[in-house]
């Protein structure tokens, strides 16, 4: 019985110790964490010139694109199922065409939603 009282007391002490401390969890999704500027979230691509650097530095092969008849980049895709958000493509892109946003709510029930598509469809006219 003494052991039961002792452990109940210790449990209550633990509760009281943390009662007035700042909460370490957030009531997500109602409240969202303030992200710092270096946060690496969803990638966005605009203005790719097709130099191929991102293909070389991506460690998981998440990036693919094609070029149309005018050597213009098209069908630029980033597969979020493969992307580990390392930021290599963003850091090494020589033209700044790749941006890393703070969007981290990327879960989906549809696998197609996890393929990000940029730079338009290929046209061969
Ligand atoms: S590194 Fe930048 S410019 Fe080069 S292919 Fe990738 S996104 Fe396009
Ligand atoms: S963030 Fe990393 S893993 Fe994701 S596409 Fe860019 S280089 Fe590949």
Pick the CATH number of 36-118 from 3.40.50.80, 3.30.70.3270, 2.40.440.10, 3.30.2420.10: 3.30.70.3270
From the CB of residue 119, how many other CB atoms can be counted at a distance below 10 Å?
Answer: 20
Length of the chain measured in residues? 125
Q: What are phi and psi of 73, to 5 degrees?
A: -70, 135
Closest ligand to residue 89's CA: 2
101 Cα: distance to centroid of ligand 1 (angstroms): 17
Average pLDDT on 4-18 reads 92
Which residues, other chains included, contact 116 with Cβ-Cβ below 8 Å and sequence gap of 6+? Answer: 42, 43, 44, 45, 77, 78, 79, 80
Instruction: Report pLDDT digits (tens) over 73-93.
Output: 999 999 999 999 999 999 999
Global pTM? Answer: 0.82
Tokens 């007035």 belong to residue: 20
Domain boundaries, the chain: 36-118
- Give the position, in ligand 1's atom list, of the atom nearest the Cα of 48: 8
């Amino acid at each position: 019985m003494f052991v039961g009282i002792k452990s109940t007391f210790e449990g209550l002490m633990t509760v009281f110790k943390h009662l007035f401390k700042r909460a370490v969890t957030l009531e997500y999704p109602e409240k969202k964490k303030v992200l710092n500027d270096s946060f690496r979230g969803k990638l966005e691509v605009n203005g790719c010139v097709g130099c191929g650097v991102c293909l070389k530095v991506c460690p998981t092969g998440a990036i693919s694109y094609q070029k149309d008849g005018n050597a213009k980049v098209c069908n630029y895709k980033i597969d979020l199922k493969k992307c580990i958000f390392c930021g290599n493509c963003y850091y090494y892109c020589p033209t700044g065409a790749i941006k890393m946003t703070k969007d981290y709510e990327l879960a989906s029930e549809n696998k197609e939603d996890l393929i990000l598509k940029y730079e338009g469809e290929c046209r061969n006219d």
